[in-house]
Amino acid sequence: MQNLLIKNIISYNYKIRFRNMSQTKREQVSSHIRYLREELREMHLSIKDDGLFPEPGELRGIMAQMEALLELVDGNTKIESNKEAA
């Protein structure tokens, strides 16, 4: 359930903001998303197959990556908003 929520949040942000980004930013966002998907997939399989929950440090790492992704996306949006205001 939580994986679906995260997937939907990332998908929504990705679709809305991806259109307004430069090619470099798009590549960075895509790279972040691919990394996060792989990490979350591994965590999910570990829970599903072995019943092993991730270490708190692993979860903090994923959250830090998600925050970095959000800053990357929001940073681009803020710059464009300032251009529109001028």
Question: Would you say residue 37 has pLDDT above 70?
Answer: yes
Total-model pTM = 0.58
**The predicted structure's pLDDT at residue 73:** 79
* DSSP letters for 36-81: HHHHHHHHHHIIIII-PPPPHHHHHHHHHHHHHHHHHHHHHHHHHH
% residues pLDDT > 70 (the chain): 63
pLDDT digits (tens, 9 = 90+) for 46-68: 999 999 898 999 999 999 988 88
pLDDT digits (tens, 9 = 90+) for 66-84: 888 888 877 754 444 444 4
